[in-house]
Amino acid sequence: MVPKKRSGTNSRAFACAYMLVVVFSFAAVKRTSAQEPTAARIEASEKEPQNWLTYYGNYGAWSYSRLDQITRANVKQLVPVWAFPTGFPPSSIPRWGLEAAPLVMDGVLYLVGPQNHVFALDAATGHFRWSYLYKLPEGNFAGERGARGLAMGQGKIFMGTQDNHVVALDLKTGKEVWKVEVENVFDCGCGITSSPLFVKDKVIVGVTGGESAHRGYLSAFDAATGKLAWRFYTIPARGEPGSETWPGDSWKFGGGSTWLTGSYDPELNLLFWGVGNPSSDFYGEDRAGLNLYTDSLVALNPDTGKLQWFFQETPHDTWDFDSAPEPVLIDVDQNGQKHRIIVHSSKNGFTYVYDRKTGQLISSFPYLEYINWTKGLDENGKPTGTIIPGAEKGYRFCPGVAGGRSFNHSAYSPRTGWWYTVAFEMCSDLQPEKKEVQEGDFWMGGRTIDMPNPKVQPHISAFDPLTGKKQWSFATKFVNVASLLGTAGDLIFSGDVEGFAFALDAKTGEKLWSFNTGARIASAPISYSVNGRQYVAIATGGGSFNENVVTKIWPEAEGHVGQSASTLFVFALPEK
């Protein structure tokens, strides 16, 4: 049978239909590819203010949202629009609290709750999409606090676990793609509590263990397969550069954890990461020397893990003054020239400003009001006139072992040009103790008693990072263990241990809004938008170590600190 010829009209209709199919197919391909969280998308995160694609919101660790629907003028109208309780998975070890900052991409919110329980939710409504529950081993091990965040890339969600594994999940289904053990948790006394960082084709993961007899490191895994790509040891082995700063075999148990998330400069192709304290924390006689690269900021090649430069902020630390906080990357214009700088704070109470290409120290300034463990920093940024704990009986040093700040990260606003940080203003009495240990043993090396600084109240402050000049200070009743979020509405969001989510005026420090969630807050707020509506999300329920000291050293806090819980609150302006 010979097929009939199509008429001209039918042929044109068929051609049009075919073209429409091609066009829609192409659009579908484009939409599908657009859903992929690529490194290029994260590099250009300022072009997608509706999303929050990486921890801190961008590679520069700004913790800043370019959304400006919520402003100083209307923030008082902010109301909760949905909440999501994560629940508590069954476990032999209680893991309460919710410290995590969510990720948001294209209308979907990803959150990690207690016991490495991951959820995908509709970002506008909180409706459940999928979940994944990681199975933790039985027994006591390090990392009993919850995770602080996730990473995404190559169609996957990446998570570090409390028993020192890295897991990759399918972004759309939550199905496990791969899982690798970094090191046996019972051998090393270490785990992963902060967000990994997805860079190019790698997942870069820090590790805890600064309070263990353990040699710290930073690891990079192939994002597609989970295969180890490189490992940078923060404590050099015998014969390597820097090993002369460790006598005998002390390097084997040297500490130097990398427990907070770093930052990345795509133009320079440099990875920046803060390194924690040496072990043991307080007893330093067995490790006489500078103890490199503990308490340092390190710059690495993200392709190879090779060290490019470093700066040690607290040589031979015996105060537990980690340099683990986030390195904030800022570009400034001076006399028509672009300068790439890093603003990096240490638990020791000082902030350091570096040239991020060379590591040259540009300036330093205190972010605390009162510091007495040193007489100050010299022109090279090194502490002078330090008092060694235990050398003088009854000596009280400030900041104490909790540091000037801890895991709770800062914020930077390109609108004001200011850097915003919390300041604990606490002190400690310390008695060092010698102890024989095996690898992986808990090893603080002393006993401490913490107390409030009698001279200064805890606060949140704004600084000009180029001059170190304080712009304003907002006193907090107790230490503020939550992180900060800046927005283009000239607001600074945070939360406190009494359970209040709140917003400050970024220009003056005046409190403009608060809402009592009923549960202590020790997390990092984020902001995103769906269909043009801006949201602010903040996890409640606590979970940080430092919140536990509040009722011990501020008796008046008894009965006022919020409950332990695990709920994500999401706020927005009322719909018109």
Give the active site residues. 320
- Collect all residues with Cβ–Cβ distance below 8 Å to 289 and sequence separation of at least 6: 244, 245, 246, 247, 316
Identify the burial level of 268 via C-beta atoms within 10 angstroms of its C-beta, where 0-12 means exposed, 13-18 middle and 19 or more buried: middle
In angstroms, how far is CA 143 from the centroid of its own chain? 15
- The amino acid at residue 387 is I
What gap in Å lies between CA 156 and CA 387, rounded to an integer?
Answer: 48
Nearest 5°: phi and psi at 544?
-85, 155
The upper half-sphere exposure of residue 237, i.e. CA atoms within 13 Å in the direction of its Cβ, equals 3
Indicate the length of the chain as a whole number.
576
Q: Specify the DSSP class assigned to residue 478.
A: S
Complete DSSP assignment for 383-430: EES---TTTSTT-EESS-TT-S--S---EEETTTTEEEEEE--EEEEE
Q: Is 114 helix (H, G, I), strand (E, B) or coil?
A: helix
Euclidean distance between CA atoms 446 and 435, whole angstroms: 9
Here the tokens at position 105 are: 């991409």
How do beta strands 217-222 and 202-205 pair?
antiparallel
The maximal CA–CA distance of the chain, rounded, in angstroms, is: 107
In a 3-state reduction of DSSP, which class is residue 264? strand
Radius of gyration, alpha carbons of the chain? 24
Cα–Cα distance, 285 to 323 (Å, whole number): 21
Tokens 């190019």 label which residue?
200
DSSP summary character for residue 121 = E
**CB-CB neighbours of 166 under 10 Å:** 22
Helices (H) and strands (E) in the chain, counts: 4, 40
